Structure 1
């Protein structure tokens, strides 16, 4: 059986972030034959600069991201909202993974976007910005896999999302839609 590999990118660098907890819960929802790996190191990647995006100059952290995206069958982006948009660290990751233009690691890669915040808006502005950037970068955004979580601070104040049956069911549905886009033969089997 072929293993489907999903790479999760979390837009919050805070160790105890609600978005990271959502990504951790998503890992637990992976069906048989699917692995979800959280990418560590987004915060180590320097801001995209075309002057250093050349053979022999690409920073190791940026190359590690590109390699991880290339080796994945699909991406799960989990984003908070900072000042009405997606975090710079996540946008920077998208920028590095999209290059070289037209043939970058994101090209034709299925991607699902999950957004969440303490606001009832559920980080939908950041979500929209992520979808836009991914689309321009050539990724295949899986619209049916979109998911939004609002009022984190209330909903998950006492529990981890992996202990919330409704959150797990929602994340499992998102993962299933992403896997369907990345490996349709796995889901239909």
Structure 2
């Protein structure tokens, strides 16, 4: 049986290094694992309980929930904005956490990776993302981590999919995450 991993990217920029990292995950997913890159996080409105009403949930939020519901696990790609998680990724977590106790994240294995320009590769944002997604009900796969520093220079002329060290680290994370997925059992 194949494991389906939904990839969410916390940067909306088309040329984002975190998006490129997600593309590398899609390209280098091991046999038996499908990584699907979700599009449209920029269209998901900020979470508001007043608009989270059955039958009238905004289309982009409903699509996000459906994609997460069809996934066996999630892989979140977080850049670091002002030392913390980007709003678009936090908003996705908020939508996926509802309804409380029964959201699309409940019990799902999740790993968080990313790259940033700084010398630590965005670890603060990734730690905050793990915290938020865990509180939202997901099962954080703590050992599945990858923080790549110096993104602006490291990926100036090389796509992450063509960086052997990055591909090795990413493949390890995907393996760890897929092993934690119920479909792997």
TM-score (norm 2): 0.97
Count of matched residue pairs:
185
Aligned to 1:78: 77
Task: State whether structure 2 residue 119 is matched by structure 1 residue 123.
Answer: no
Deviation for aligned residue 1:185: 3.9
Aligned to 1:43: 42
In the TM superposition, 1:5-16 aligns within 5 A as 5-16=4-15
Task: State whether structure 2 residue 106 is matched by structure 1 residue 107.
Answer: yes
State the distance in 2 between where 1:182 and 1:122 align.
26
In the TM superposition, 1:46-57 aligns within 5 A as 46-57=45-56
SS in 2 for 1:100: coil
What RMSD over aligned residues (CA atoms) do the two structures have, in Å?
A: 1.1
State the distance in 2 between where 1:36 and 1:184 align.
14
Structure 2, unaligned stretches of length 5 or more?
Answer: none
Superimposed CA distance per residue, residues 129-172 of structure 1 (whole angstroms, 9 cap, x where no aligned partner):
10110110010000111110110111111110111111100000
State the distance in 1 between where 2:35 and 2:114 align.
17
Q: Is the 8 A contact 1:29 1:172 kept in 2?
A: yes
Task: State whether structure 2 residue 49 is matched by structure 1 residue 27.
Answer: no
Deviation for aligned residue 1:3: 1.9
Aligned to 1:181: 180
Q: Is the 8 A contact 2:21 2:114 kept in 1?
A: no
Call closer, same or farther: CA 1:28–1:183 in 2, change over 3 Å. farther
Q: Is the 8 A contact 1:29 1:175 kept in 2?
A: no
Deviation for aligned residue 1:128: 1.1
State the distance in 2 between where 1:48 and 1:185 align.
32
After the TM superposition, which segments of 4 or more aligned residues of structure 1 sit over 3 Å from their partners? Answer: 183-186
**Worse-matched range after superposition: 24-33 or 99-108:** 24-33
Q: Is the 8 A contact 2:178 2:184 kept in 1?
A: no
Structure 1, unaligned stretches of length 5 or more?
Answer: none
State the distance in 1 between where 2:34 and 2:61 align.
22
